[in-house]
Structure 1
Amino acid sequence: MTFQELNLSESIIKALTEEGYTKPTPIQEEAIPIVLRKKDLLGCAQTGTGKTAAFSLPIIEHLLKDEPSGGYKHIRALILTPTRELAAQIDESISAYTRYTGIKHDVIFGGVSQHTQTLALRNGTDILIATPGRLLDLMNQGYVHIAHLQYFVLDEADRMLDMGFINDIKKIIRELPEERQTLFFSATMPPTIAKLADSLLTDPERVEITPVSTTAEKVKQAVFMVSKNDKPALLEYLLNLGNITRTLVFTRTKHGADKIAKQLTKAGIRADALHGDKSQQSRISALHNFKTGRLRVLVATDIASRGIDVDSLAYVINYDMPEMPETYVHRIGRTGRADKSGIAISFCSREEKENLRLINKVTNQNIPLVADHPFHLKESAHPPGPRGAGGNRGPRQQQGARSGNSNNNRKRPYSGGGNRRASSGSGSGHQHAGRQQGAASKAVE
């Protein structure tokens, strides 16, 4: 199927062609016809499947053909999303899709002055993309009115609840007009989300593209067992191999993100941190520099685990294992997007083995263990997988277990170079380090 077969206007098709869109993704192929029929939609799809186009393209099509309700300056479509970064990303996509339509759109979120946002709203807008807190604030101040809204999109609903926005969402919902089309998207569908969807939707059609907690098929995964203290050296070691290019690194805490970014910068690797304590301008700058290649590494907390679309991002590294399997799925979903392949590497310490076991169980897999690296915890067994099995060792793992990685080698301070000599002036040690580097390099290619 092509976008032309979805009965979209020529102005939209022209913009899509310029953006390099050739054929719709599965969720776009299923959702767009439903939305064009003006049916409510419940969409369950993991991140990176093309949801933004799935809901925005048919809404743009409607706005091109519908008469404005209640006057031109009233907001006609509202897209509610959890984070500033995702709001900006959706606004950027809609800007591309509406290039030849004359449809106006604006985005509002917190962390910046509201002055420019309120000025834009005074002139009226067709599509408003917003985060809940700033939207509710401007509604209370009388700058935003949604009584004549025709289309409402609640995106990343499960993330909304995780971030504590449920009360804000309920207040916004109370202001919505009864007559509207509602599109509800969530990567997971626990009971609380299902209940919220039921309260919002009228006789909806459901689109479910990928089962809950399923990792993207085109993402090659690997886990490196390593002590907590050796994680900084392992990260530097992998980045110095040369085959790992632009990389998104996830850490559990804001302090950890800042610390890792500083360590990498000191080692000569261009890096920056992205988390909630950063100013909005700093976050925008860091993400822009990462997208444009000025940064090689972006170290982020889970604020970036959904909705950040970086073209051709090949590598994601879980510096800290996530506590929730669903978080793992969304983190590694930053790579392997738009039919491209990707690689996800996870560092797992002794203290995090239970997290890895749960990820294996929920995602119904055994993430391959890479043993051939200088910091491997040789004595640690691969955590059991989905059926309680010990995780069968493959040839590479068996080779790593038999290799001569002594504790002395593993604990020797890492110099930061691509090759790690077992001892200065030792030929056999040099060859052994070279084999380690080669095996680790192949594991992440």
Structure 2
Amino acid sequence: MTLPEWLAGSSEEAGFLRLVLDHVSDCLVAVDTEGTIVLINEPYCRLLGGEAEEFLGRHITDVVGPQTKLHFVARGIGTHVGYPLEVRGHKLVTKQVPVHKDGRIIGAVGLALFSDYDALKKTYSRISKAELAIPSKPRAWQSKFGLDDIIGTGPLMEAHRETLKLAAAYDLPVLICGETGTGKELAAQAIHSLSERSAGPFVWVNCASIPSELIEAELFGYEGGAFTGARSQGKPGKFELAAGGVLFLDEIGDMPLALQGSLLRVLQTGEIVRVGGTSPVDTDLRIICATNKPVAELVRAGRFREDLYHRLSVLPIEVPALRERDNIAQFAEQLLERISSRLLKPAPELTPENRALLVTHRWPGNVRELENALTRMVVTGKLSIPSLDGLPPSAKAGKDLKSRVQFETHAALRAALQQAGGNKRRAAEMLGISRAQLYRLLKERSPA
């Protein structure tokens, strides 16, 4: 077994480092990009009931079990903090992160943050009591997500992330388009977190959820006594609250036509006037808009100002629909990890039948629909999708479970082969199966 260069040899520094790792009370293990164990400390060996020599050189799943995700992390698939893991009857709360060198991932390290759930509960209890003693302060508007939260592999998603980086580099209006549930606000927050305005607020408004008679006051604020029921001291609008940061206007396609002219003026002059006010107020903010409607068609129908459309679409971004993305099954695995970590439950494995369902379903609700389906799977242990759009009517109505699974499996095979350009090795990788299994499934007769 070859140790990593930083642990190899008999230098005093390397020996001291190994001694320190053995004296760390928490379990620690490291793997290379193939998932092979290259380092394991003494506390982990004691938990496993063996010596380091018995575990070095073996695959992490052979030693810890199939529930670990460290071998995926070592290939750049996700990062897991607070991930529950049961090892030899011991319930651990772990942190699994990649190890980088010269800009590339060379492996991953797993560390037990808590040796058992009781320790976690006691620590949480202490933190909660300490928080109760600290006076709470109002939280400012802020973005909660960044580029790392946009998961998914393949050329399409890589191009999407590069587009967001480009948009973040310029302080210009952005128009984000995409179907419902694709993650348009996630993209907007990623732009904010990458930009020079990241320290400023991220203020959001859903233009479709506010009555048309109130949206002007909501955006621009109002002076005291501007209308019946108004606060006597007035109220700042979202434009003022977003000063120094970003104002995210979601569902911009539903903004009343009369208000679109006011928005255009803000973009052109950088000034607003409160409802009932007499003096302009300077604004320093960036505007990011999003819509699931075809804005160009709204312009042609006279429901959206053409000059505003051109002003907003300096940097247009189209968020890919889920059905257009590569490696949906792999994306689902990453999403499963996040959901299971949030719910403190082990992530269930995706079976070939599960993968077939994921590939054949059309996902009209996109990532939001997939996340709901996977959340149900984490809770119930079963993947259930209410709609079976990928099946013909005859299969929906009269096929038994075995025939339906066979149909879905062959549909997944066809879709993967088409996406891989006929390359069977790549198609097998996309489906998460071996080439031998792919050939075996291809030989089986597809149900009519």
TM-score, normalised via structure 2 length: 0.32
Point out the structure with max Rg over C-alpha: 2
TM-score, normalised via structure 1 length: 0.33
